[in-house]
Amino acid sequence: MSITNIKSEFPIFKQKINGKPLVYLDSANSSQKPKVVIDRMSNFYETEFSNVGRSVHSLAVKATNRFEDSRDKVKNYLNAKHREEIIFTKGATEAINLIASSFGEKFINNGDEILTTELEHHSNYVPWHFLRKKKGAIIKFAPMNDSGEVEIDEIKKLITNKTKIIAITHISNVTGAIMPLKKIIDLAKEKKIPVLVDGTQGAPHLKLDMQDLGCDFYAISCHKMYGPNGLGILYAKKRWLDELPPYQGGGGMIDEVMKDGITYASTPTKFEAGTMQTAEVVAFAEAIKFIENLGIENIEEHENKILEYGIEKLKKNNSIKIIGNPSNRGSVMSFTIKGIHPHDIATILDDDGVAIRAGHHCCQILHDKLGISATARASIGVYNTKEDIDVLCKAIDNCKKVFQV
């Protein structure tokens, strides 16, 4: 399987949008799905489906084995130390909420500090805001500089003896800034502060090694990694999972239930209450195989070439302002066009079959810092080509003609 003709692996590219070939530049929002993932999910429902961890009949045993095989696949892909460190959630949002709730319940009190940044997606701010309201915690924001990145010195300045956790993104979904995670995590270790990483934008594009990275928690959104919707991964060091209280209560996560008390299952089951997304979990193993077959290093190299080409082409258009100029950028090109609202840009581009996103991208604090309400965003996936960028630029020129700018 070669990246050169990888679009043929994605059925959605067979169709046309408004009579034009689909140019999909919205992978930071959600990636398209290769046929192997779609087929695996369909095949599971057709031949192997049952609820997991409940019954002892043949289908239930087979489904449970497939489910747990997927946990092992994720564990190996992330180079986690223990399979019990992989928790299946309904998304990266729930993974972060789980830690904010469980960690916050046990370890954060009135006046304690949570350190985050101005780059964060709402999913890595709102859960901590809930904790602020509930417990009287304080949230500190490391500022974004003019290049659209956060310098490690700004994080250093904000760490105090009341800092209980650092919650940071891996890659900004607006400026594309790749955070110097290893340096931040090493700094946190010196201070014995746990680190949660929102890996939603990092996981689809960068090689991940939890032993090398050393973070305590890492949240993944599977639908951005060519996998199914409605599924996320929480990697968490086992020592934390053993200590943290459950996030939700229900079937599956208990050991014994009595009138005068309840004991909980061991991790990871303790954090997987209720009926799990069995087909999605099984299909995600196929998404990982897809990435492994291509090679994450090859994917990164390919995407960087497309990204560099895109930035270069957009810079040549005098009407375009590119948001951010980070020293290390990944997968994202956000921009504005003078005289045209981003939502109008996205609407007109769609007429030419070009799919981008417009809005504040769930990063209102960042946009407020920039003094704008919205941006247009083109984001790269493994299936994108330089020809896609050429079509994007031509569609932008057509948009400018429509608005006479």
- Per DSSP, the three-state class of 168 is strand
Q: Is the dihedral of CA 76, 82, 85, 86 positive or negative?
A: positive
In the set 215, 362, 363, 399, the catalytic residue is: 362
Angle at 327 between CA 324 and CA 331, to 5 degrees: 65
Which pair of tokens denotes residue 61?
């045993």
Cβ burial, residue 107 (10 Å; 0-12/13-18/19+):
middle
Q: What is the DSSP string of 199-242?
A: -TTTTTTS---HHHH--SEEEEEGGGTTS-SS-EEEEE-HHHHH
> What is the C-alpha separation between 159 and 42, in angstroms, rounded?
49
Q: Which pair of tokens denotes residue 248? A: 């939700």
C-alpha 355/C-alpha 347 separation (Å) is 9
DSSP element (H, E) containing 107: helix 92-107
222 in catalytic set: no
Question: Which residues, in sequence order, are bridge partners of residue 145?
Answer: none
Distance separating alpha carbons of residues 192 and 184, to the nearest angstrom: 12
Active site residues: 362
